[in-house]
Structures are given as C-alpha cells and as structure tokens.
Structure 1
Amino acid sequence: MFRPGEKSLAIETRLKTVRKVRVYEEIVSQITSLILNGELKMGDKLPSERELGERFGVGRNSVREATRALESANLVETRQGEGTFIVAGPDSLVPVLSASISGDESGIHLLFEARRVLEPQIAALAAKRATPEELEELGRILESQRIEVDAGRNGIEEDTLFHLTLAKAAKNEFLLKLLRTLLESLRERREESIREQSDRIRSHETHLVILGALRAKNEGGATASMLSHLIEIEGGETDGDFSPETGAE
C-alpha cells in the first residue's frame, strides 16, 4: 500500500548535488579545438594572461588554471620570460595522450580531463554532421542500454558503443581514434562509475538528452549536455589538483 511520503523519498534518493561547469575547462576546450583543427600550430605563442582573460571575458585565475591543465596534458609549454607556446599538433596528440597514461591517480585524472575537453566538441560536430541513419543507430544503442540496465547489468558495452558511434557521426577519424584510446584506457574506472543501479539509470537518461540535442541539430545543446553528462557520471575524478572556479581574483 502506498504511504504518504514514499514517492518523495524515492525521488530524493535519486537526486545528486549539482556541479558547476568550471570556467577553465571551457578555455581548455576552445584552445584544444584550435589545435585539433590546425588553427593553432606547434610553436605558436598564446596571448598573455591578461589578453586571454579579456578575450574570454574571465579572470586571470581562470586563465592560469587553464594553462596548468594544458601543460599537464603536454599541449603547451610556458617559457620563463618568453610566454606560453603550443608544443603539440593534431598528429601528435594521440602519442602525447598515450605517454601520459599511468595507473596512478594523477594519470587517471589527466585522462578524465582530456575526455571532458574532447567529447563536448565531438558532440557539437555530430549535431552538425550526423545522418538520419546514424541518429537511428544511436537510438537503437540506447534502447539496448536500457534493456541491459533494466536487467541489472551495467551496460558498459552499450555505453562505449554509444560514445564511439557518436564520434563516428562527427566525421573526424582522428577524434574517433583519440576517443577510442581514452575509453579503453579508462575502462575500469568507467565501470566503477556505474557500479550502482541509480548511476546506470542516470547515465542512460543523460545519453537520451544528448541524443535529443543531436536530433535537433543543436550544437550548443549537444556540447553542454555532453559536458554535463561527463561531469555527473565521472564527477568523482574532477577534483584533482585544481580548485573550483570561484570567479574571484
């Protein structure tokens, strides 16, 4: 028999703390995209902290955090008295990523961070380029994931297939190769992130939101929903050495 408050309690157990998207991650995402599409080349010098802050409309603390993240991923190098320079190109990003892979927490953190930088941009490209057939395939994959989750299984194979099929829809072989490397390297941690049934259900639900943005050809919505999905599902790995964005200088 239903008792007052039971439904409310059930809903409360599914609610999670809302996490803010950090400003520095958006800066990292934009700079990485410029490297990937060749607009920023090896040896190019980035504008100063002050200039970047003005262009992005953010404080210098956010620019510093973004620079630290890019340096950790071996994408830029800061030279005393000279400035910050691009030290990786599109063809070198996969070897750079592979070299950074390690079993310790710092290596895992870098991989999660790289995924949060790349996949929102992949989602934006897919929103623009996906064919009706590819969208139908993504829908079938999510239906298979729902069946797996309803049966009490983690649905990790369907999860992986969804992200790789989405990357194929972006029509960029390099990004697909890079994402496959990331997903394979993080397989064990990804399984841990959906150990609980509530996390599996939420993962499937957020996949549906992403697919909705793709179907609407909403590039901004696809970017935002993918980043939100990754932060929520893999949120335990976002803290690392970086402090939350406060907006204060």
Structure 2
Amino acid sequence: MPLPWDSQHFEISVGQIISPALTNSELENILSYAKEQGYHLIYWATCPDRMIPLPLLQSFSGSLVDRKVTYQRKLSTEFTFGEIKNPSHSFEVIEFPRSQANQQLKTLALIAGAHSRFHDDPCISKEKFAGMYHIWINRSTLHEIADVVFIVKNSANMEDCLGMVTGSVKNGIGKVGLMGVQKKVQGQGIGSLLMKTLHEWLISNGIHTSEVVTQKNNIRACKFYERFGYKLESLQHYYHFWVQL
C-alpha cells in the first residue's frame, strides 16, 4: 500500500507490505511489482523467526533496520517506583502547554529517536530523520498525535528543559510516545520521574494499561521499561527495501 506522508516527507515513492507472512516467492513478486510501479522504498514488518535469503535481500537492497519491541504493563497506584536518584537536584515536572515545540524539545526528540529505523538506515539522510522527529514532537505538543507532554526542569534553571515524555490514549490503552533526557543528566532519575508522572496522569484519566514501543537494540531503554514493570508483548522485525538501487 502507498504511504503518502512518508512519500511526501522523503520526496520519494514509499510503500508498505501489509501481510507479515509471505513466502520468498511472494515477497519477491511483490517487490518486483513495486519496482515496476516506481516505488523507491518499501517497508515490511514480519515475525522475528522469518529468515530472508541473502540473495533476495541483495536483489532489492533490503536490510533489517529494526527489531521493534512492544511492552505492556498494568497500572496501579500501589506500584512503587523507588526514590529518584541524586536528590541534591531539585527537579520539577511541568505539563508543556499546547503550543509549538521549542528547540529544546526538538533536540530531545532526536535523542528519543536515536535508535529508530529512520536513524539507522544509512539510505535515509540525517536531515530527513531530524525533520521527521521535529514534526513528530511538534504534532505532539499541539495535541494532534499526543494528549499530554510532560517536561522536567531544574528549579535552579527553569530555562533548561532536561527531559520530556509524550503520552496518549487509544482504545483505552495508554501509549508512551517520545521520551528523551539530555545526555548530561542521564542516569539521575529524570526518566523515572517522567514515567511516574505519566503513569499517574493515565491512572487519573481512568487508564489502567500502558504500552510502549522501542527497539531491541536500544538495550538501555529496554532495561529501563522492564525495571518499571513492563513485559514483552510482541516483537517484530522491520525491513527496508530500496528497490530502485
């Protein structure tokens, strides 16, 4: 199926294969058709045990660009998050107002996407990757694709945004969206504070299940979410095929 937004953003024809279960022959036929139709980039998500022969990958300049992990957990007011590290710092959580994202949030969005397939695919320019995540955070702060955005500041310097998380609710499930913490303050409990705040916001809105998507190669993020009670819900392998190369 064609992907109009991606095509417009990357300025090439982008499509996605919907079926996760295809034989090698079926996959080859679809990719050959996509090439004939003028597509440049094709996404395909499949199960992790699906092995694609190297000659087939090479024929369509394909590569595994993401091992997408989906985590879920039940929310409860009784859940203990533990103490925030480095109590000498006075961190303050603020709900970002519904407005355009500022430059600090755009920088944090790039940190959040540093392990994404759009960052790791060498055929996608860093400018296009950055543009995508700048749009993502801006649409989040405008509440077009997120319902809330929380930021953390240091009470001693309220101009400096140290971290942020976006959250939304879809079909009764809370979604953790973009989450980023400035590198200079990573490991000081800011991520924990953001998650605690978002969980409390979800519970206050009657939501009792939370879900987050990350990349399996982002080991730090996976360990972080697992530490907060998230359990593996699903794993998908994402391939990018550059069929015109």
As a proportion of its length, which structure holds more helix? 1
TM-score normalised according to structure 1 size: 0.29
**More strand, by proportion:** 2
Q: Which has the higher contact order (CA 8 A, sep 6+)?
A: 2
